[in-house]
């Protein structure tokens, strides 16, 4: 009897995980038809955007470091 409940519990857990995974996969899909067309163009700009963001963060860190009193 305990084995039957264990298997049933595992099936329930597997079902819940699959449902959550399905919702996550649906959230990743583009919603607008035009979004799929602009996806690859945006993907080519992402590395450049990340590079700019990292450079900006380094510059802000350097400015903040320069404004701190030296020890």
Domain residue ranges in the chain: 1-29
**CB-CB contact of 30 with 39 (8 Å):** yes
Q: Is the pLDDT of residue 9 over 70?
A: yes
Note the pLDDT tens digit of each residue in 30-67. 776 655 555 566 667 878 888 999 999 999 988 888 88
Q: Is the pLDDT of residue 24 over 70?
A: yes
Judge if pTM exceeds 0.85.
no
Positive or negative, the CA dihedral 44, 55, 30, 25 is positive
Question: What is the rounded average pLDDT of the residues 13-40?
Answer: 80
**CB-CB contact of 20 with 26 (8 Å):** no
Helix, strand, coil shares of the chain as percentages rounded to 5?
85, 0, 15
């Amino acid at each position: 009897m305990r084995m039957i409940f264990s298997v049933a519990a595992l099936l329930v857990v597997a079902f819940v995980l699959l449902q959550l995974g399905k919702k996550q996969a649906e959230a990743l899909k583009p919603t607008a038809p035009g979004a799929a067309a602009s996806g690859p163009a945006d993907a080519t700009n992402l590395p450049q955007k990340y590079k700019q963001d990292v450079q900006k963060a380094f510059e802000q860190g350097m400015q903040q470091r320069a404004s701190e009193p030296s020890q």
